[in-house]
A and B are shown apart, each in its own frame.
Chain A
Amino acid sequence: MLRYTVRRLLQLVLVLFVLSILLFVWLRNLPGGTVTAILGDRATPEKRAELESVLGLDQPIFVQYFKFLGRALTGDFGQSTGVAPGTDALQVFLTRFGATVELAFGAIVLALLLGIPLGYWAARRKGGVLDSGLIVVSLVGIAVPVFFLAFLLKYVFAVRMGLLPPSGRQTPNIDATRVTGLFVLDGLLTREWDASWDAVKHLILPWIALATIPFAVIFRITRASVLEVQGEDFVRTAEAKGLTTSTIRSRHILRNAMLPVITVTGLQTGALLVGAVLTETVFAYPGIGEALAVGFTKKDYPVIQVVVIASAAAFVIINTVVDLLYAVVDPRIRTR
């Protein structure tokens, strides 16, 4: 297990190194860039040249990269130029990371809470009305673009009906103490119930929008997996042994059916990040997804770099954890 973990960590370092080179070179070869982002349309040629010189942007790209790498290894990814100008890019990421964690965690929990039981029930009632209905719902969930769904939810429930806030993380003038950067949790820790509830209300629509695809995927995988497992020989053996139905369902069917669900849940974390960019943009929710979207619009290279590199790291780490979990659940893997 230790060797496996170390190997994965080394892979992670290599992935991040290669990614940082590709990203750095690609961004700097895009038209436009930092100078225009900072100076806007009022810059004289002299000013532009002066700024390039001051920031070292006139140096060869590999020199720029190694300077960047040297600073990045000390945690200095430079200053934001567009998302939160003048703020340390890593700080921008860390500030917004909590927002995305709240959003993504809530969405994946919602997807699991709905997807697994409904997938199980649908499999147990294969061909019934519930099963057919849920399949249609899951198909729609996969087919409808997140962006469109988010927009629709916002328009109906926030703009037209006024039931929930249309955007943001928290009502601006509410009394809220920041502890962890997770607003819902902060409110609970400091007993500022109103602040916590306010944060939840801001999250309900984004949660639903972001949870749709993972829910649909988890539902379908669970359903298919349960259908497959319940026809296996060991289930028949368990029945022949006279085990109770509940034991068969829990210890044999559900547990074995969970293996692909765990895998797919891990894989969904990557999709969640993509979904978060769209969801956060629609709901003006200040997480890392919105930082990435605004960063590209405003050519905020430091923020783009830190968000992409940190997200890649998170993605690899999450998948490593999923693989380890897999080993916990499936003894066959551990023995290999």
Chain B
Amino acid sequence: MRRPHWNGRGLTRGLAAAAAATLAVGLASCASSDRGSDASSTAPGSGAPGSSASGSGGTSGSAGSGGGAAADTFIFGAAGAPSMFDPLYATDGETFRVARQINEGLIKFTPGTADPEPALATSWESSADGKTWTFTMRDGVKFHDGTTVDAAAACFNLDRMYNQTGAGATQAQYWSDVMGGFKDQKDDAGQPVPSLYAGCQADGNKAVITLNSSTSKFPGVLGLPSYSIQSPTALQQYDANNVQAQGDSFAYPSYATEHPTGAGPYKFQSYDQANNTVTLVRNDDYYGDKAKTATLIFKIIPSETARKQELQAGTIDGYDLPNPADWSGLKDAGFQVEVRPAFNVLYVGLTQGNNPALADLKVRQAIAHALNRQQFVTSQLPEGAKVADIFYPDTVDGYTDDVTKYDYDVDKAKSLLAEAGQSNLTLNFWWPTEVSRPYMPDPKSVFTAFKADLEAAGITVNETSKPWNGGYLDGVEAHQADVFLLGWTGDYNTPDNFIGTFFTRTDNRFNTGTQPWGAELSDQLKAADAIPDKDQRDAAYVEINKKIAADYIPAIPISNSPPAIVVAGNVQGLVASPLTDERFASVSKTG
């Protein structure tokens, strides 16, 4: 082996020069960076309550360090990577957020509300028994690949959903949650799993959907991303149903990873995993108002702090769910914090069958009286949050506040516990770590407040905290907690989407099936869901809410909390949605 001959002086000088050069390059880059100037434009309000109309937060300029994107590009900071781009198989918000820009369903939701409005169908009507729904399709609409959007395409999509098998059926959770079984699905006893869906027939420009029973879920559910109408040509060409279980997870076909084809205002362009960005481009053939920005980019930034700093640096134009603690600071800095109407509920769950004391209604009433919900809402939740007396917000059908109320009353709580012979009650109270939810921005502070409340009423609280997906959800579902914190954000405007989801099944997380009233409540919910007439249905839900509050108390509703979405000061046209159904096509930027 030959000895290398080093010239020490040359070496050290060379190294020194290189070191100096490295530093110089770094400093030079700082000095010559082309940061866009702060846009001090006064942007008009974005059309939602709570927007701050002026701001200098957004920057614009050429792409590059510290400069926001050009005016025809909107960059949104996403908290996570989309699972894939076929919303039928998705359950997570980040996947839906992208899918909502690419796809449309038969109906959509009026911006800023949870009310259905026409989309690929211009109108719809239901038969008197609520089992037949006829959708009149919009004429002259094309999917991104040029395929015509018609009644046959709509039925092709619904049949495709119903016909899922194997891994696809396991993944199509929003179908099974809402519609029940799939075409060939059998239960453990070999019996077909009942489904709401009976079929779909194309009749000229009308898609006629037949159901096995009337349901309050229609037509609202058809506005969910999972029920998007996608191009039959592309679905077939790229083998869309070919989902495979592989190792610990699923492998998706190229339709879902590379070729999603809808009829929405943006078209899929690329998912650059190396740079963690998803890029969509304007669909110039969109039937409605064309997207105002030519390019829509989702930049995946897992850390909320990092998302906030990117917004402050002007390298993204907005992000979702800013921490309520940051709202005022962001507003002061000129960013627009758009507060959504609250469409969620936080509750304290009471597991039946775990702690025998909780089977006694008096004990559950005592806990309800012990919790100082107003104090919690006032001190911990953002402006606009409300104490909840029932399990859904007042914007949902069948709302009533004429229910038994459980005002904060420690003495009442103590006397109820005494009557129940539970003056020395001990409860195992679970709360989640490593998570922030729109209805529960800071779980620890929720727990701390309620623990103190319960102790003030003489209840001993044993604390159990576990990571959200590190034992918490699994433990709650396995009924290991006596008392736990959880909540729900609604998908569409029906009581069924809230209380139906919670209590229709009796093997729910509250374990209501272990109590006689569990099946009773379940039957009432099923019956109410199947009432075709809306007024009668709403009246039935009012009665159910009264009974839940007075006779059942499977959990204690706490609050409805308005989450927010934040954009730069130079962004206009964003309409905050209670369903997180923001359509970015209406968004534009100045400067």
Contact = CB atoms under 8 A, between A and B. Distances in A.
B315 A168 contact: yes
B249 interface: yes
B137 to A, nearest CB: 31
Contacts of B434: 297
B420 interface: no
B275 A254 contact: no
Contacts of B9: 246, 249-250
B249 A163 contact: no
A250 B248 contact: no
A174 B16 CA distance: 34
A215 to B, nearest CB: 10
B278 to A, nearest CB: 9
B276 interface: yes
Contacts of A96: 273-274
A164 B30 contact: yes
B490 to A, nearest CB: 12
A319 interface: no
B473 A172 contact: no
A11 interface: no
Contacts of A172: 63, 69, 75, 275, 277, 279, 297, 299
B550 interface: no
Nearest to A182: B274
Nearest to A35: B474
Interface string A299-335: 1011000000000000000000000000010010010
A198 interface: yes
B297 A85 contact: no
B434 to A, nearest CB: 7
A121 B20 CA distance: 15
Given A68-B247, A302-B249, A165 B477 contact: no
Interface stretch (A74-82, A130-138, A263-271): A74-82
Interface stretch (A2-10, A15-23, A26-34, A234-242): A26-34
Interface string A257-285: 00000000000000000000000011110
B295 interface: yes
Contacts of B250: 38, 79, 86
A152 to B, nearest CB: 12
A171 B75 CA distance: 10
A154 B309 contact: yes
A54 interface: yes
A88 interface: yes
Contacts of B303: 281-282, 284
A31 B474 contact: yes
B18 A254 contact: no
A233 interface: no
A164 B29 contact: yes
B470 interface: yes
Given A86-B84, A157-B30, A254-B6, A31 B173 contact: no
A86 B83 contact: yes
Contact of B177 (A42, A158, A159): A42
B469 A286 contact: no
B590 interface: no
Given A163-B66, A334-B1, A201 B33 contact: yes
Given A166-B309, A169-B274, A204 B170 contact: no
Contacts of B466: 31-32
A119 to B, nearest CB: 10
B315 A166 contact: yes
A32 B467 contact: yes
B168 to A, nearest CB: 10
B29 A200 contact: yes
A251 B166 contact: no
B94 to A, nearest CB: 9
B25 to A, nearest CB: 8
- Residue among B33, B65, B173, B473 with max Cβ neighbours from chain A (10 Å): B65
Interface in B237-294: 245-252, 256-257, 273-277, 279
B177 A155 contact: no
A201 B472 CA distance: 41
B176 interface: yes
A246 to B, nearest CB: 5
Contacts of B12: 116-117, 120-121, 249, 254
A85 B84 contact: yes
Contact of B309 (A118, A159, A328): A159
B236 interface: no
A165 B66 contact: yes
Contacts of B276: 168-169, 284, 286
Interface in A156-195: 157-159, 161-174, 178, 181, 183
A290 B92 contact: no
Contacts of B11: 250, 254
B64 interface: yes
Contact of A79 (B6, B249, B279, B295): B249
B369 interface: no
Given A31-B471, A159-B313, A301 B302 contact: no
A110 interface: yes
A173 B248 contact: no
Nearest to A110: B22
Given A85-B81, A85-B84, A95-B274, A164 B66 contact: yes
A31 B467 contact: yes
Contacts of A284: 276, 301-303, 306, 310
A211 to B, nearest CB: 10
A208 B84 CA distance: 35
B486 interface: yes
Given A165-B66, A249-B9, A251-B6, A38 B249 contact: yes
Contact of B302 (A79, A95, A246, A297): A297
A169 B275 contact: yes
Interface string A195-219: 0011011101000100000000000
A103 interface: no
Contacts of B469: 32-33, 36-37, 298-299
Contacts of B138: none
Contact of B247 (A85, A166, A202, A302): A302
A126 interface: no
Given A36-B474, A159-B312, A254 B8 contact: yes
A42 B91 contact: yes
Interface in B456-506: 466-475, 477, 486, 501, 505
Given A80-B249, A85-B82, A164-B29, A36 B274 contact: no
A227 interface: no
B18 A113 contact: yes
Contacts of A113: 15, 18-19, 22
B1 to A, nearest CB: 6
Contacts of A283: 306
Nearest to B93: A40
B381 to A, nearest CB: 20
Nearest to B507: A45
Interface of B: 1, 5-12, 15-16, 18-19, 22, 25-26, 29-31, 33, 35, 59, 63-66, 69-70, 73, 75, 80-84, 91-92, 166-167, 170, 173, 176-177, 245-252, 256-257, 273-277, 279, 295, 297, 299-303, 306, 309-310, 312-315, 434, 466-475, 477, 486, 501, 505, 507
29 contacts: A31-B475, A34-B248, A36-B469, A42-B177, A55-B247, A55-B248, A84-B273, A85-B83, A85-B84, A113-B19, A114-B22, A117-B15, A159-B313, A163-B30, A164-B66, A167-B315, A169-B274, A171-B63, A172-B277, A201-B29, A246-B9, A247-B8, A251-B5, A251-B8, A282-B303, A284-B276, A284-B303, A286-B275, A328-B1
Given A166-B312, A254-B11, 14 more contacts: A40-B92, A42-B177, A44-B505, A54-B170, A92-B273, A114-B19, A117-B12, A165-B64, A167-B309, A170-B275, A172-B275, A201-B64, A286-B273, A294-B302
The 5 residue pairs across chains A and B that have the minimum distance between CB atoms: A78-B247, A250-B8, A31-B471, A249-B8, A162-B66
